[in-house]
Amino acid sequence: MGEAISKVQALRHAMLDPVEVQATMEIVALTPDLAPEMLDEVAAEYRERCERICAALEDLTVDDDESEAVRHIPLTWLATRYEWSRCNDQMQYQTILKGAADTLTMARGSMLSKIAEKLEALQTRKELFWSLKLAADPFGTVSRIPLMAKRLMRLTASAGRGINEVLQEFHAIRELLALHVEDGELLDKLDKSISKSIETVDYSVGIELNDLHAALEAELVDRLESSGVAALILLDNADPSELIPPDVSDLFFRVAQCWLKHLFAESIEATPAEREASDKSAHVTLSWRLTRNERRLTFTLRDDGLGSSGFTMGKDVLPPGLDVRHRQEPGVGSELTVESNFMLDGNSEYLSFSVFNGYDNSMLAIPAQYVRFISLVEAKALASASGSLLTATGELYTILDTARTVFGASADYSKDLIVFADLGEGRRLAMRVNEIHGICRGRVKPLPFGPGEDRVAGILSAAGQLVIVLELEGFFAG
């Protein structure tokens, strides 16, 4: 058996082999009233077209790797199909207006039909299915993709929130059970079961960056209808299939919607000529990327528009734990940064404690990974420390009256229980608390919270109680 012929070689044979050319021209010659000189003209055009197609695909084949060339076969078929469709429409209008279709137009339509047939024969059934679908309704097919991505985001975000609530209930039941059961082995099995459930959810429920990008692209296209300039949006992340929590993705998208509305109303040039006069490309270029660390996701959008100021988002429309910043450079562009301060690891552990809220004690928590140590400190030592506390090891901690900072209340103690937390980069906090309750585990849920909302990341549930999770970064930002 000989070597298998490549698709590019097969196409050249099907198009330009003398026998194949003769067979094609015999079909074209059936065109009514086609004169010999017309047939010669069409035959020359056929050979030139086929040679260009084959040469282009051969240029895309490198070291016997024709994967890129094969990817262009359906695209070339679509281009040929659309040109044939135009010829077909021309013939119909010519028949209506003149009583008969133009002979040369009919011959060219026949030629294009044969070229499309040869390209079609080299496509797999799967490729042909999507090619035919796109050929039948190009705008409907393309526009449906980002609309489906937006719907997917909404559904997945809703499902993710529901699953999180179920997992929070599991945690609450486990803590309640621990109050009445002394069987450590049983509680350990429950912990492992809950942890496994959370890990399964984390790896299976999420939004791909690809889908978020499609949704952002759809939102951008909606803005172009009334815009004087074209625009495109690029995803900067190397891995577009990376998953992010659906509720966070939903929040990012809602902020981006507001940003795009402001951008096209206040910060985009009116015409391509205005942009070119500023040494910019005729079209607006937007880009976005997503970065993460162990505690947060950061969503960054950039544009090269006018860089107009004035974009704001009220605290009443933002959940706690979401930080939105906007900066601009007049005439150059602007940048939107959205940071989600929610704990991203569903299995995170938090040190829980209580503080006085003005009426009784409320449960608070901070990520356990940042706790250095816990100590009793004389109240007078705190009072004379001018907002900071120097430990015996020479480390300087910022003192926070947690009750006052979070609830606007004050408590009077002869001694203060202090939780020492270290966030790195020289940022240390010494928080005054009432009582330590120990380690609780769970996923933070973003819920509205009144007092101190700038310093609240969200809520988690333990033993049936709501525990306010503090956003430690917020203490330094304030």
Question: Tokens for 89?
Answer: 């429409």
| pLDDT category of residue 199 using cuts at 50, 70 and 90 | low
C-alpha closest to that of 87 among 143, 42, 122: 42
The string of pLDDT tens digits covering residues 443-468 is 777 665 555 556 777 777 766 678 88
- Domain boundaries along the sequence of the chain: 7-136, 144-340, 349-441+447-477
Greatest mean pLDDT range, 217-231, 269-283, 344-358, 411-425: 269-283
Please state the rounded mean pLDDT for residues 332-357.
78
* Under 8 Å between Cβ of 351 and 441: no
The string of pLDDT tens digits covering residues 4-45 is 578 889 999 999 999 999 999 999 999 998 999 999 999 999
How far apart, in whole angstroms, are the C-alpha atoms of residue 79 and residue 88? 14
Question: Tokens for 428?
Answer: 């240390």
Res. 171: pLDDT tops 80? no
Q: Fold for 144-340, please state it.
A: Heat Shock Protein 90 (3.30.565)
How far apart, in whole angstroms, are the C-alpha atoms of residue 266 and residue 71? 41
What is the 3 state secondary structure string of 89-134?
HHHHHHHHHHCCCCHHHHHHHHHHHHHHHHHHCCCCHHHHHHHHHH
Q: Is the pTM of this model over 0.85?
A: no
| pLDDT category of residue 475 using cuts at 50, 70 and 90 | confident
| pLDDT category of residue 394 using cuts at 50, 70 and 90 | confident
Per-residue pLDDT at 276:
92
* Under 8 Å between Cβ of 201 and 163: yes
Res. 3: pLDDT tops 60? no
The string of pLDDT tens digits covering residues 61-100 is 888 888 898 889 988 998 998 899 899 899 988 888 888 8
Per-residue pLDDT at 18:
93
Mean pLDDT of the chain: 82
Q: What angle do the packed helices 18-28 and 7-16 form, to 10 degrees?
A: 50
DSSP 130-174: HHHHHHH-HHHHHHHHHHHHHHHHHHHHHHHHHHHHHHHHHHHHH
| Strand, helix or coil for residue 211 | helix
Q: How far apart are the first and last CA of the chain?
A: 77
Per-residue pLDDT at 318:
66
Res. 337: pLDDT tops 80? yes
Per-residue pLDDT at 315:
60
Per-residue pLDDT at 221:
85
* Under 8 Å between Cβ of 444 and 411: no
The string of pLDDT tens digits covering residues 408-426 is 888 776 678 888 888 877 8
Greatest mean pLDDT range, 39-53, 133-147, 404-418: 39-53
